[in-house]
Chains A and B, each alone.
Chain A
């Protein structure tokens, strides 16, 4: 349990003169939920994009599962088990819910240079896809086009896709964004049992959620790590309070 699955070492990304990430250093222990919080513009989404590989970092290193992945493209990191979800829902809108999950499963079954057999009739994709939809409570909508789903359902589907890839680590960028109270609760119930199997880096605005779920929390302010510590420590830290109250 003690070894870190993800190590971030002085990671930096500048947009022009502005350093969106300024020498980020922290590590995430295997099997834990690690919260990443900070006021607006602290660089949380930039950090996630750098970790997932969508943004190339200017300097610094990222080590994942014992390998240096700093120069790996997105798809290679994803195949190695580092998956992300998006703050703004990102799905395959013309496919059905089941198609979406099946695509996630397909990506884990080696290459897709299979040109002949109908993928929609492939039981090795469809049966597990149904199971995962059931797990997130979307069984009734398996055949609905994604466009017809409500926002909360789309968020659940997104989580289903990420789970379908059987990741070893999840980068969750505000998974509860735009959700109602009951949907948020449901999402929390979905995430909690994963703890131990799947390591999670959780970016979330809702402090209650973060403090309820996270084992460790890193606070970002203006692209820098202010502090990393246990929830209680963070809650009572004077500088964190000041950062959130704005007189920083």
Chain B
């Protein structure tokens, strides 16, 4: 018992140190970029934060709820398209298609981003309501199929660029903030990510979170205890979709372009790789996973265009030898305690 306590205490100290160092790095990225005279670093770091956000959203249902959603790109993509479409109409001065009335869109972030979250949440509600009736491989396949459906749907709408996607001529507007400024944009992403991490860390420890984690461990038992598990899983799925939608809205601003490629299954796969690489069932893990994957992509892609050849074996090694991912490697034994 005593030994357990020591290991627990040490691990939690280690967790604190790792989190602190992580935060320090995150807040000083723009400074460091200036120092090394590499301003594009801030750009890459923003991208890492955005993908961290969507990876955290997937982890909420995958790592805590045991729902292997292979269609998370759909929610990311839809969030991005909401921003893209609203900006497109605002820029062209035309009315938004498929909507009643003559609304010409907007570039205001406080309207765009919540709308992105709402639409992705609604999509998650529909996809979740149908796919959560299945489990296991069927669930993976159905979420994948829905995302692919949406991918082909966006390709087939010429109004919004079809296969070519939409260029975004204006980034979202936030009062007193210039999102064209790389640092402002970076800190906007960082604050949203930290906010999301804080909310998620509360959620996974709440009554709702405990039910969700119980479902991953033993769904049959949870039902026998009297929990209508479907409802809980569906709500978690919708929450996850909404966060992914927000990430999509940020991503649209970051790349100043939205295309159906975001919804392609390879995109969904990449998000899942981030979660597994970083460590499922820990909220910090997906952030590490996003950083590791995107940096590897950046570095390896500089050497060879076949950089995936290196990624593959690395993933296999991580899955085989570090079951809690990079987070588990950093934190050690205490990583299970969530």
Q: Which positions in A face B, CB cutoff 8 Å?
A: 52, 54, 73-76, 78-79, 83-84, 86, 90-95, 99, 102-104, 106-108, 112-120, 122, 161, 165
Contacts and interface: CB of A to CB of B under 8 A. Distances in A.
23 contacts: A73-B223, A74-B223, A75-B224, A75-B225, A75-B227, A75-B228, A78-B225, A78-B226, A90-B218, A91-B221, A92-B221, A94-B336, A95-B217, A99-B210, A108-B226, A112-B207, A112-B227, A115-B203, A115-B208, A117-B206, A119-B207, A119-B210, A120-B210
A79 B213 CA distance: 20
Contacts of B71: none
Range, interface on chain B: 20 to 34
A84 B221 contact: no
Interface in B269-325: none
A78 B218 contact: no
A230 B234 CA distance: 48
A92 B214 contact: yes
Nearest to A109: B207
A84 B224 CA distance: 7
B202 A75 contact: no
Contact of A113 (B208, B220, B229): B208
Interface in B226-280: 226-229, 232, 235
Given A94-B217, A112-B211, A79 B206 contact: no
Those 3 A-B pairs whose CB atoms lie nearest each other, nearest first: A78-B226, A79-B226, A107-B226
A117 B201 CA distance: 11
B333 interface: no
A91 B213 CA distance: 12
A91 B218 contact: yes
B287 to A, nearest CB: 21
B195 to A, nearest CB: 14
A238 B52 CA distance: 71
A165 B226 contact: yes
A116 B198 CA distance: 11
Contacts of B232: 112-113
A79 B226 CA distance: 5
Contacts of A116: 202-203, 206
A200 B295 CA distance: 60
B224 A74 contact: yes
B1 to A, nearest CB: 9
A118 B206 contact: yes
Contact of A103 (B214, B220, B223, B228): B214
Contacts of A120: 205, 210
B324 to A, nearest CB: 12
B209 interface: yes
B224 A119 contact: no
A117 to B, nearest CB: 6
Given A99-B210, A113-B235, A119-B210, A92 B217 contact: yes
Given A93-B218, A95-B217, A75 B223 contact: yes
A86 B214 CA distance: 17
Contacts of A104: 225
A73 B224 CA distance: 10
Contacts of A102: 210
A127 to B, nearest CB: 16
Given A78-B223, A95-B214, A95-B217, 14 more contacts: A54-B220, A73-B228, A75-B223, A75-B228, A78-B226, A83-B224, A90-B220, A103-B222, A112-B208, A114-B208, A115-B206, A116-B202, A120-B210, A165-B225
A106 B210 contact: yes
B187 to A, nearest CB: 26
Contacts of A84: 224
Contacts of B217: 92-95
A54 B220 CA distance: 9
A93 B203 CA distance: 21
Nearest to A92: B217
B199 to A, nearest CB: 8
Contacts of B208: 112-115
A114 B218 CA distance: 21
Contacts of A95: 213-214, 217
B218 A75 contact: no
B204 to A, nearest CB: 10
A125 B211 CA distance: 13
B224 A52 contact: yes
A90 B221 contact: yes
Contacts of B224: 52, 54, 74-75, 78, 83-84, 86, 90
Contacts of A52: 224
